[in-house]
Amino acid sequence: MNFKVSDSCVQCNSCINVCPTKSLSLVDGLVTFNSSRCMKCGQCFSICPTASISMFDCDPSTNISLDPLVKAIQMRRSVRSYKSEPLSNEKITEMLQIIRFAPSARNARNTRYIVINRPKLLELIPVIGEILLNIYPHMKAMIQAGGDAIFRGAPHLIVAVESVPQPTDDGVIALAEFELLAQQQGYGTFWCGFFKHAQAAPQVRELVGQNQQDKVTAALGFGIADIQYERPAAREKVAVTFI
């Protein structure tokens, strides 16, 4: 990958702190890149206050769209830094009621939502960490370092659950709408695949339902973002084929 840091870098550390894979470090006053760890998310490019990072030949001076919906899509990021202050139940409920307009397979609308708040999330961190170590051994250092590599300090986790023999994609679609709505209102979100992986754990089943058919279809960390991005992430073009 073509990753460069220009002379305009002011060594503010923002790119280093935001990198979810610890691929960047400051060595002798220069931002140094470890390509073997990088997952190409483009968050470093997105956050740099001096537009010093270029990657995939993306130009950091590219304008943000004036179209509000296009802008919301461009500027949505996985937020992994949150203020501890929670949102009210009323506010979260109001936002979840907006996504009832999302599409639904056969219009079945079987998805229900569970909002897990920070105290319960703290209890779940060691439980899920243990499960993840078996699935992703390379995460050992990250999990054992303590902190919150799973819920990223988010005060809430919104979990979509279906209790039918064949759960649908409804929860994913609805929470994707929730994510855009939330970020457009200035909140932060991120998809918590780790929680979904751990859904068979007894402590998780206790929260989402005891029935074998109770299935977590999506989970989204949510709260007041404690981070601000300057521009869309660097992204390679998607492949498109017309047949």
Ligand X SMILES: Cc1cc2nc3c(=O)[nH]c(=O)nc-3n(C[C@H](O)[C@H](O)[C@H](O)COP(=O)(O)O)c2cc1C
Other CB atoms within a 10 A radius of the CB of residue 8 amount to: 12
Say which entry of ligand X, ligand SF4, none residue 116 contacts (CB below 5 to 8 A, set by partner kind).
none
Q: Which of residues 183-212 bind ligand SF4 (CB under 6 A)?
A: none
DSSP-assigned letter for residue 94:
H
CB of 15 to ligand X, least distance (A): 13
Report d(CA 241, CA 237) in Å as an integer. Answer: 13
Give residue number: closest CB to ligand X: 193
The distance of Cα 108 from the centroid of its chain, to the nearest Å, equals 27
H helices, E strands: number in the chain? 9, 8
CB of 80 to ligand X, least distance (A): 6
3-state secondary structure of 54: strand
**In this complex, which beta carbon is closest to ligand SF4, that of residue 15 or of residue 92?**
15
Helix, strand and coil percent figures for the chain, each rounded to 5 = 35, 20, 45
Q: Which of 115, 191, 203, 214 binds ligand X (CB under 6 A)?
A: 191
User: Residues 30-59 vs ligand X: string with x where CB under 6 A?
Assistant: ---------x-x-x----------------
9 binds ligand SF4 (CB under 6 A): yes
Pairing of strands 214-224, 187-191: antiparallel
| Amino acid in position 25 | S
Cα separation values, 167 from 43, 105, 112, 211, Å: 32, 10, 12, 13
Angle CA(172)–CA(175)–CA(179) in degrees, nearest 5? 130
Q: How many binding residues for ligand X (CB under 6 A)?
A: 14
Say which entry of ligand X, ligand SF4, none residue 11 contacts (CB below 5 to 8 A, set by partner kind).
ligand SF4
Q: Which of 4, 25, 32, 39 binds ligand SF4 (CB under 6 A)?
A: 39
Say which entry of ligand X, ligand SF4, none residue 19 contacts (CB below 5 to 8 A, set by partner kind).
ligand SF4
Residues engaged in binding ligand X (CB under 6 A):
20, 39, 41, 43, 77-78, 80, 152, 190-194, 233
Residues engaged in binding ligand SF4 (CB under 6 A):
5, 9-15, 18-21, 23-24, 31, 38-44, 47-50, 52-53
